[in-house]
Each structure stands twice: as C-alpha cells, then as structure tokens.
C-alpha cells in the first residue's frame, strides 16, 4: 500500500517560490489500479517523480506498506519495489536493449527471457535485443522498450507516466493487456497510471483528478469516470483524428 500524506512540492523560479503540489493526500491499496488524470500542467508528472524519489517533497510524507520512505533515495525505493516508467524515455549511447533489460531484471536474463519482455510490448525481439538504446530508435520504439524494462522489474508498485504517449500505432488494447497481466502475475502489485486516455480510465479501480496541484476529487471509477467524459481529462484514443 502506498500513502501520500499532506504532500507539498514547491520550486523557486527567479527568487519566487512557486507551489506545484499542495497538501496532497492519496492512498493506493494493494492490487489497486489507480489512474490519475487532470489537465496539462496540473502537477501529475511531478507527483510521479516524487513517488519514485526523483524529486523530494517540500513537506509531507510518502509511506510504502506503512514505512516512511520520504527520505529514501531513488535506488533505495527501487529496491523496496517501486518501479517507474518515464514519460520521455532516456537514450543511452552504447547500452544495448539486452543489457538494459538485464539491469532492470536485476539478474542475468537469458536472451529468450529478455525476448519475451520485448514481445509483450509488441517488438519483434530478434530485431531489437542487440540494438543500442540510442538515437537510432524512434520515440515509439523507445517508449515500448521503456515499458519492457518496467515489466522486467516485476515491481510491487509501479508508476507509469503517460504510458500511451508516443505509441499511437500500437493498439491500446495491448497496453491494457500489459497492465492486466502485471496485476495478475505480480503478487499484490498495484500501480498508478498517469493518463488522459479514456480507455485507460475505463479499466481503473480508482480515479483521482488533479487540478492546480490539488486533488480535486477521487473515488471509484464508477463515481468519477462519468464526470470526466467530454473533458480534456478523458480523451478518446483517436482524438487527434476527430
């Protein structure tokens, strides 16, 4: 279970303090699938980075299974079972896809095990396993590899920051299947997905709406989803084509 208690985060810009998140409270129980939505710039990605430990809150606490992890480093949180999928994945000159998957799994995966993770994200494994994670990969390929590394982590608690961004050509159904199989295969696992996509919202157990750095409302999908339909917080997969 992950709990955020009175979490605030502020940055200083040109000597002026700017609050990004204000006094945020949120609980994600084991086996729960929470989607956080809200307008752009509302602080959703910052929230994800706070959970992964990339940013430190100005005040408040983060607890994982009752243990206060607010002051723990990124590495310590990863070892405690927190996974994080970047919205904009990182490129590495020289590091191969296979190496990255092995680092993610924390063991010397054999090629066929590594290939399974790539197949799950819809990449023809044979073509990718020895590729470098560098600028020769397209944004979409990189995004799928990012998701594959998170799969290989088998983390108990995973945060996905806009997993659908950049993978338009790949069906949403596959992405949703991945979330479902993670939930089935990793015992008591739970996840937060930051997304505007209505198809992802539709499979949530719980939805939280963030607006201006505050949780505007949260509750079960049946309570919250109808309030979002037709707003920018719930976009159709092909909204761009409309």
Partner 1 sequence: MVQLDAIQKRLISEIADLHGVPEGAYNFRANGGLAGRQTTANIDIVSKENGSGIDIHIKPGTVNESVHIPVVLSQTGLKEVVYNDFYVGEGADVVIVAGCGIDNCGGQDSEHDGVHRFFLEKNAKVKYVEKHYGSGDGTGKRILNPVTEVHMDEGSYMEMEMVQIKGVDSTERTTVAELKKDAKLVVRERLMTHGEQRALSVYKVELNGENASADVVSRSIARDRSYQKLDACIVGNAPCKGHTECDSIIMDEGTILAVPSLEAHHVDASLVHEAAIGKIAGEQLIKLMTLGLTEQQAEEEIINGFLA
DSSP state of 50: H
DSSP element (H, E) containing 98 = helix 97-105
Binding mask 142-181 for partner 1 (x = CB under 8 A): -------x---x----------------------------
Residue 78 as a binder of partner 1 (CB under 8 A): the answer is yes
Residue entry with tokens 């594959």: 148
Stretch that binds partner 1, among 56-64, 92-100, 193-201, 208-216 (CB under 8 A): 92-100
Instruction: Show Cβ contacts of residue 179 under 8 Å, excluding neighbours closer than 6 positions.
Output: 33, 191, 193, 200, 203
Q: Is the Cβ–Cβ distance between 20 and 193 less than 8 Å?
A: no
Residue 90 as a binder of partner 1 (CB under 8 A): the answer is yes
Residue 73 as a binder of partner 1 (CB under 8 A): the answer is yes
Closer to partner 1 by Cβ: residue 118 or 209? 118
Closer to partner 1 by Cβ: residue 85 or 207? 85
Q: Is the Cβ–Cβ distance between 123 and 145 less than 8 Å?
A: yes
SS3 85: strand
Closer to partner 1 by Cβ: residue 146 or 164? 146
Binding mask 15-34 for partner 1 (x = CB under 8 A): --------------------
Nearest-Å Rg of the Cα atoms of the chain is 18
* Token pair recorded at residue 197: 């996509």
Counting residues that bind partner 1 (by CB under 8 A) gives 25
Instruction: Give the residue from 15, 37, 60 showing the smallest Cα distance to 215.
Output: 37
Q: Which of 1, 10, 63, 103 is close enough to bind partner 1 by CB under 8 A?
A: 103
In the complex, which residues of this chain contact partner 1 (CB under 8 A)? 52, 54, 73-75, 78-79, 82-84, 86, 89-90, 92-96, 99, 103-104, 106, 132, 149, 153
């Amino acid at each position: 279970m992950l709990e955020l208690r009175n979490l605030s985060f502020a940055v200083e810009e040109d000597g002026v303090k700017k609050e990004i998140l204000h006094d945020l409270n949120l609980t994600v129980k084991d086996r729960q699938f929470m989607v956080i939505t809200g307008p752009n710039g509302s602080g959703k990605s910052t929230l994800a980075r706070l959970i992964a430990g990339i940013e430190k809150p100005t005040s408040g606490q983060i607890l994982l299974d009752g243990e206060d992890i607010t002051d723990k480093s990124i590495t310590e949180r990863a070892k405690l079972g927190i996974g994080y999928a970047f919205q904009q994945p990182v490129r590495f000159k020289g590091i191969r896809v296979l190496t990255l998957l092995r680092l993610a799994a924390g063991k010397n995966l054999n090629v066929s095990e590594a290939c399974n993770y790539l197949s799950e994200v819809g990449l023809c494994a044979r073509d990718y396993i020895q590729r470098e994670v560098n600028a020769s990969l397209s944004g979409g390929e990189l995004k799928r590899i990012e998701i594959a590394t998170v799969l290989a982590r088998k983390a108990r608690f995973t945060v996905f920051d806009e997993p659908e961004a950049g993978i338009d050509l790949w069906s949403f159904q596959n992405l949703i299947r991945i979330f479902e199989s993670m939930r089935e295969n990793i015992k008591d696992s739970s996840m937060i997905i930051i997304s505007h996509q209505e198809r992802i919202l539709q499979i949530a157990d719980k939805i939280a709406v963030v607006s201006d750095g505050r949780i505007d409302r949260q509750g079960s999908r049946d309570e919250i989803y109808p309030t979002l339909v037709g707003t920018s917080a719930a976009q159709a997969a092909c909204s761009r084509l409309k």
